[in-house]
Structure 1
Amino acid sequence: EGEKKPLKPVDAMQCYDCHAQIEDMHADNKHATVNCVHCHDASEHVETASTRRMGERPVTRMDLEACATCHMAQFNSFVHVHHESHPRMEKATPTSRSPMFDKLIAGHGFAFEHAEPRSHAFMLVDHFIVDRAYGGRFQYQDWTKVTDGMGAVRGAWTVLKDMDPETSDQRRFLSQTATAANPVCLNCKTQDHILDWAYMGDEHDAAKWSRTSNVVEFARDLNHPLNCFMCHDPHSAGPRVVRDGLIHAVVDEGLGTYPQDAQKSELITMEKVTFQRGGEDFRSIGLLSMADSNLMCAQCHVEYNCNPGSQLSDGASVGMDDRRANHFFWANVFDYKEAAEKIDFFDFRHATTGAPLPKLQHPEAETFWGSKHERAGVACADCHMPKVKLENGKVYTDHGQRSPRSRIETTCLNCHDYWTADQAEYAIDYIKNYTHGKIVKAEYWLAQMIDLFPVAKRAGVSEDVLNEVRALHYDAHLYWEWWTAENSVGFHNPDDARKSLTLSIDKSKEAIKLLNDAIDAQVASR
């Protein structure tokens, strides 16, 4: 690789002539001394552009190393692989979170593989290789790459290979895989496409990609996980979000930054800033009034729609051309059902019961609302990205997001200084073990109900009764699966976890009683 040429600064005032919104963000803020050429190769652009035409579009750097020039400690912490985590550990295993997951989710692509999370450096790579997404099309070049955090961050395709680069169709390359990926899925893994994606993924003449794009071709165009600019505005260095579904929920729908706390929503606000392309509104970002990692992390750690589905009202299909395929419900487990009914949507039908069901994603943000830690002012970064002091005394935010138990001294003990590290871990295990027990019990009763359903059908139980059971199945599933999709095993909100999981058990038992009574009535009538 040749020696890099020194950057030749451009006159930022010339850029501001066209990019007035950028001037507002850049000129008087922390990054005011960072010249445009640091992130944009604009040499041809400034010569060919005018106020009436774009000219040669500048090449914009999306890689995390653009920021590492100044923020090296943050970058190094991000690419560091936490080897104590459990790589590619399926949730549907006896020792993991959800041992009966496959039966309970039957009929959905997640039954092919649903793994515990690992280091964020791998979030894009792991999406490409998961068995449910691309049919096994994308694989590691070799198994030595599974620990290569730096390679995964520098570019997914430096560690992965395409089994058939000459084609772009979604098909199965390996047995027991699915082809469930779509372009919306990728929006919380990377924003490499931020300049080529219209707001909400709508089709637009200036957009290279949309919700309906060929997902294999889209995937090949993406390289970097969790770009720095997803949370940090590159022009001002201020806090922001870029995930359109979150901006739509908070601003367009008026739900606010904290739907259950009007006062906090007024304190921490989000300003929607829209950029135009060709004189038309094209894309938007959300500028935060103050840094709030709960909101920054909610771009991904949230329950959202990222797939086609069906309408609850009539079963009609909802395709990727419908905005409901890119929707943030921005509701907690107890409000989710009403939010889903509001947009008339469900994800899939269970393979055994035929019940219309939600498929929940990773709802950490909504789970945290109202918890003791959230009420005390704790945010995601306090536990998962603590402040760390370098040898030279400089303090920075560790960007190697992981469980606080791996660094108790700088997380839990910051507040609970009356504990030892062993006591803090003991308290964590106390909460998580209790919740996991409730998850397993909820799974047992859901499985009992599912197994009884075909028995009832064979016995001739009426559709009216079966539909009552399907409605109960929806509730039992929702109140159970929320806690297998959520990645803290209840720690983020132990009270809501217990309430929800016991509700799931109640609903399953109610459904079982309905089925057994109906079966007994059928037998008696003979």
Structure 2
Amino acid sequence: MNWGKTARSEKSLLTGPSPNPAWDKLMAPHGFTKEHNVPRSHVFALLDQLLVDRSFGGRFAYKDGWRGLTKNGDLKLWDVIDDKYPGQDHKPFKPGTAAAANPVCLSCKTQDHILDWAYMGDPVPGAKWSRTSKVNEMAKDMSHSLNCFFCHDPHSSKPRVVRDGLIQALTRPEKDTLWHKDAKATKIDVKDMGVRGYTRKIAMLGRADSKLMCAQCHVEYNCNPGVDPTNGQPIGMSDQRTNHFPMTDVWNITKHYDNLKFRDFRHATTGALLWKAQHPDVETFWNSTHDKAGVECKDCHMPKVTDPKTKKTYTSHWQTSPRNYLKETCLRCHSKWNETQAKYVMDSTNAHIQGKMRKAEYWLVQLVDRFSEANGLGLDEAVLKDARRKHDEAHAHWEWWTAANGAAFHNTDQAKESLNRSMVLAQEGLKILDDAIKAKRAGPAKAAMAVTR
């Protein structure tokens, strides 16, 4: 356990990427308003997924209470936590919680079910678990977070990926992903592993490409039910769209989901159908300054380090911020810098983008509040529809950056341009509503003046 790392934290703290009170207003009534955690180390991913307030409604808890936080990462999951409501259905058990977890959520945290899960999680004969399984029962069958075989073939140790949503994205006929458009993209060899009577797939990589390895989880992906924006009908877990990787950038994400006919939730105040991002880290990094220079995820987050006792050099699998070993990361290329200068650049870019996020939130809050004013005035539905579309687009250009990890440094220029775009779109939505409200209120006033004459 590294006690120097940041403690378990919440993104909606005042100092977080998505602080309240704006967060809950802009995301209402989505489950992420219940708890929006900052990720801890990978070894805690499954544990934290089971404990977070939005996922299992308070079902799972540390056996030792909050003292469980002192457990090392080599813990045995079910020695540390237990089910406080065994035998009961998946639902919220405690106030202020949600039961938003589903089987696809778990696939990002663990692959303990890899042999019991058909391709895309389709419910087929013989597969023990699927997208439609009872997630509380499936969770009890999982024990390990971020298995080695996510990225390494267990027989040869050669590089591979196993997440079905990613494999589907890289092989879909549209060829519309960032990978397809990259002339230097690593080649893949997809293999059907369906020896158990149903289709299972893995993809062997032409080289150890950490962008693709990390893209198994550190990407935006659908992992929940949603709504078809063309007809307002619900989309359930039986629909394959609930396990989908867009693998596109912030400029194309709204269009992608338009074509997919998918939105995550309807906003409580505006009625707009909106998107909830996951963690589009790889997509943000793709085509960035560092990416174009040939830097990969592993160069900054998994550098070569030397054991001080044995003097052996190995690839670190701590997978943490380069701030924690600047000599092995930033200073390898920026040789004229020292550690203080490297941190200065990181802190400066982060502060700049956090400032842009607060401004984008301000204008989105103004737009939501104006909807509150407009809702009781009987405005024309066409006007509200136009304003909702602006809300949808402005929201996407803000929400992308609340969900992305390290976005300020991964692609500073893109983050700045996108957040500025969010502000402009929110302001355009405001003008649509303000003009309509002004005209609506002017109508009765003119009528009253005509009567007095």
Q: TM exceeds 0.5?
A: yes
Query: For residue 15 of structure 1, what is the aligned residue in structure 2?
Result: none
The answer to whether the 8 Å contact 2:126/2:198 transfers is no
TM-score, reference length from structure 2: 0.95
1:174, CA displacement in angstroms? 1.2
The answer to whether the 8 Å contact 1:294/1:365 transfers is yes
Query: For residue 450 of structure 2, what is the aligned residue in structure 1?
Result: none
1:309 aligns with 2:232: no
Return the alpha-carbon distance in structure 2 between the equivalents of residues 524 and 298 of structure 1: 54
Alignment of 1:289-308 (within 5 A): 289-308=206-225
Change over 3 Å in CA distance of 1:466–1:273 after alignment to 2: same
Q: Deviations over 1:434-480 (max 9, x none)?
A: 00000000000000100110211222221111111100000000000
Q: What stretches of structure 2 of length at least 5 have no aligned partner? A: 445-453
The answer to whether the 8 Å contact 1:461/1:522 transfers is yes
Alignment of 1:186-225 (within 5 A): 186-225=106-145
The answer to whether the 8 Å contact 1:260/1:369 transfers is no
Change over 3 Å in CA distance of 1:385–1:256 after alignment to 2: farther
In the alignment, residue 373 of structure 1 is paired with which amino acid?
H
Q: Deviations over 1:24-45 (max 9, x none)?
A: xxxxxxxxxxxxxxxxxxxxxx
Change over 3 Å in CA distance of 1:253–1:156 after alignment to 2: farther
Return the alpha-carbon distance in structure 2 between the equivalents of residues 369 and 260 of structure 1: 12
Q: Deviations over 1:281-330 (max 9, x none)?
A: 42110100000111101100000000010112111111100100000011
Match of 2:396 among 472, 478, 482: 478
Match of 1:363 among 244, 268, 280: 280
Query: For residue 230 of structure 1, what is the aligned residue in structure 2?
Result: 150
Query: For residue 96 of structure 1, what is the aligned residue in structure 2?
Result: 16
1:382 aligns with 2:303: no
Return the alpha-carbon distance in structure 1 between the equivalents of residues 249 and 180 of structure 2: 9
Q: Deviations over 1:106-160 (max 9, x none)?
A: 111011000111111110000000000000000111222213133xx44211111
1:257, CA displacement in angstroms? 7.4
Match of 1:140 among 62, 74, 80: 62
Change over 3 Å in CA distance of 1:256–1:312 after alignment to 2: closer
Q: SS of the residue aligned with 2:2?
A: coil
Match of 1:246 among 166, 170, 173: 166
Return the alpha-carbon distance in structure 2 between the equivalents of residues 397 and 111 of structure 1: 37
Q: SS of the residue aligned with 1:291?
A: coil
Q: What stretches of structure 1 of length at least 5 have no aligned partner? A: 1-79
1:172, CA displacement in angstroms? 1.8
Return the alpha-carbon distance in structure 1 between the equivalents of residues 414 and 402 of structure 2: 14
1:82, CA displacement in angstroms? 5.1
In the alignment, residue 200 of structure 2 is paired with which amino acid?
R
Query: For residue 347 of structure 1, what is the aligned residue in structure 2?
Result: 264
The answer to whether the 8 Å contact 1:122/1:149 transfers is no
Q: SS of the residue aligned with 2:24?
A: helix
Return the alpha-carbon distance in structure 2 between the equivalents of residues 394 and 516 of structure 1: 66
Match of 2:84 among 163, 170, 189: 163
Match of 1:127 among 49, 58, 62: 49
Query: For residue 283 of structure 1, what is the aligned residue in structure 2?
Result: 200
The answer to whether the 8 Å contact 2:110/2:147 transfers is yes
Match of 1:395 among 297, 313, 317: 313
In the alignment, residue 265 of structure 2 is paired with which amino acid?
F
Return the alpha-carbon distance in structure 2 between the equivalents of residues 310 and 253 of structure 1: 24
1:171, CA displacement in angstroms? 1.8
Return the alpha-carbon distance in structure 2 between the equivalents of residues 491 and 355 of structure 1: 31
Return the alpha-carbon distance in structure 2 between the equivalents of residues 247 and 451 of structure 1: 42
Return the alpha-carbon distance in structure 2 between the equivalents of residues 434 and 109 of structure 1: 29
Change over 3 Å in CA distance of 1:296–1:256 after alignment to 2: farther
Return the alpha-carbon distance in structure 1 between the equivalents of residues 30 and 241 of structure 2: 18
Query: For residue 337 of structure 1, what is the aligned residue in structure 2?
Result: 254
Q: SS of the residue aligned with 2:408?
A: coil
Query: For residue 451 of structure 2, what is the aligned residue in structure 1?
Result: none
Return the alpha-carbon distance in structure 1 between the equivalents of residues 159 and 3 of structure 2: 26
Q: SS of the residue aligned with 1:174?
A: coil
Identity %: 50
The answer to whether the 8 Å contact 1:182/1:307 transfers is yes
Q: Deviations over 1:377-403 (max 9, x none)?
A: 111111111111123222111111111
The answer to whether the 8 Å contact 1:257/1:269 transfers is no
The answer to whether the 8 Å contact 2:178/2:248 transfers is no
Change over 3 Å in CA distance of 1:90–1:104 after alignment to 2: same
1:181 aligns with 2:181: no
Provide the aligned C-alpha RMSD in A. 1.4
Alignment of 1:480-495 (within 5 A): 480-495=398-413
Return the alpha-carbon distance in structure 2 between the equivalents of residues 92 and 407 of structure 1: 28
The answer to whether the 8 Å contact 2:124/2:198 transfers is no
In the alignment, residue 379 of structure 1 is paired with which amino acid?
E
Match of 1:463 among 360, 363, 381: 381
1:350, CA displacement in angstroms? 0.5
Change over 3 Å in CA distance of 1:256–1:274 after alignment to 2: farther
Return the alpha-carbon distance in structure 1 between the equivalents of residues 158 and 55 of structure 2: 34
Query: For residue 236 of structure 2, what is the aligned residue in structure 1?
Result: 319
The answer to whether the 8 Å contact 2:301/2:322 transfers is yes
Q: Deviations over 1:14-33 (max 9, x none)?
A: xxxxxxxxxxxxxxxxxxxx
Return the alpha-carbon distance in structure 2 between the equivalents of residues 297 and 522 of structure 1: 52
The answer to whether the 8 Å contact 1:257/1:295 transfers is no
1:416 aligns with 2:337: no
In the alignment, residue 511 of structure 1 is paired with which amino acid?
G
Return the alpha-carbon distance in structure 1 between the equivalents of residues 75 and 51 of structure 2: 17
1:489, CA displacement in angstroms? 3.9
Match of 2:72 among 143, 149, 160: 149
In the alignment, residue 435 of structure 1 is paired with which amino acid?
I
1:254, CA displacement in angstroms? 5.9
Q: Deviations over 1:75-102 (max 9, x none)?
A: xxxxx43532131x21112111111211
Q: SS of the residue aligned with 1:388?
A: strand
